[in-house]
Amino acid sequence: MRVLMLSKACLVGAYQRKLEEIARFADVELMVVVPPSWRDPVGAVPLERSYTQGYELVTEKIRFNGRYHLHYYPDLHDRLAQFRPHIVHLDEEPYNLATWLAMRQAKAVGAKTLFFSWQNLYRRYPFPFSLMERQVLQGADYAIMGNHDAVQVWHAKGYRGPYAVIPQFGVDPHLYQPAPPRRADHIFTVGCANRRLVPEKGEELLLRAIANLPGQWQVRIAGEGPARAELVELAQRLGIAARVHFQGAVPSAQMAAYLQQLDVLVLASRARANWKEQFGRVLIEAMACETAVIGANSGEIPHVIGNAGLIFGENDVEGLRAQLLRLMQNSGERRILGQKGRQRVLAHYTQAQIAAQTTAVYRQMVENKSYHS
């Protein structure tokens, strides 16, 4: 079966590992269409050709580059007419112009379509986006949801077709590996790693929770953003500034090494009216490194962790402190949770696992089988 995937996310080289894994299946001929670059608000994302074996990675010019709702590919119809795919995988939300146009063009060449969504909050969009969204939901043959809340959102909005819950990307377990044995003088190290330091990610909760922890410990905070100055000031007010280290932005190539130095990774996200944790990729990266994880009972976090880590109530400083103390005092439990975490990643969250689940969806679409998972 011929599959054309439209995905600006696949500009990122690390994400292309999933594409190589999909292409390993003998029954899939894969073409992936990306723009030459994407003008993200935090900086331009150029095309990286890192993992390109077994499939065709092509660029198409894009209009309204950087406009999340309005961008589209003016010449995509020609590409579809030449490739004649059986399936068009739209790696975009259903309310975007790019999704709506590509779906119409795919139908014109007889291809089946699926969309991908992280959307875990019910939102209403103005015309014409509301119309495009409705028509995509009515016309799509399949949907892949990145989290469980997205299923509820799209059912509430009228989607009645088959779906599967599959994250957009996994991790490479060969890059994210367990840390070497600790030195005898190792200090209990807790950390967090978020792309941006913003209040909803909950770094403030971590500082308040750990402030009264007994014994020797340190905190490492990776990331940059508007909340950094407030976090620095809070650490000073709590009297723990000497134990809190701000790492700045950690490049993706160095993230595994950063996570390996931690005994515990904390993701203390808290929902806002316009945001809720959609997945928490750093969790599976830490779990792959056999770093124990503690997460808030917020958004998709509990589903990602499963039984391979500890959960505390959203916004519950005392609950987080109790979980930190538990792992600080029990290295054996940290080790067991770390091992469970890596096994969970190997079973569900590697790029190969995500590719296999995605390819299973393609086969079900071709065979007209319904599938909910």
Please report, for the domain that includes residue 193, its CATH number.
3.40.50.2000
* Domain co-membership, 127 together with 192: no
The pLDDT score that the predictor gives to residue 342 is 98
* Domain co-membership, 69 together with 136: yes
Alpha helices by DSSP H, listed for the chain, are: 16-23, 76-83, 97-108, 129-139, 148-156, 203-210, 228-237, 255-260, 281-288, 301-305, 317-328, 331-348, 351-366
Q: 262-276 pLDDT, tens per residue?
A: 999 999 999 998 899
Cα(300)–Cα(68) distance, rounded to whole angstroms?
Answer: 23
Q: 17-55 pLDDT, tens per residue?
A: 999 999 999 999 999 999 999 998 777 899 999 999 999
* Domain co-membership, 220 together with 204: yes
Amino acid at the residue 321: R
* Domain co-membership, 135 together with 243: no
- Lowest-confidence range among 9-23, 61-75, 178-192, 223-237? 178-192
Quote the Cα angle for 263-264-268, to 5°: 165
The pLDDT score that the predictor gives to residue 373 is 43
The residue behind tokens 């500890």 is: 310
Domain that holds residue 321: 188-348
For the chain, what is the domain count?
2
* Domain co-membership, 279 together with 337: yes
Cα(162)–Cα(373) distance, rounded to whole angstroms?
Answer: 10
Residue 332 structure tokens: 């054996």
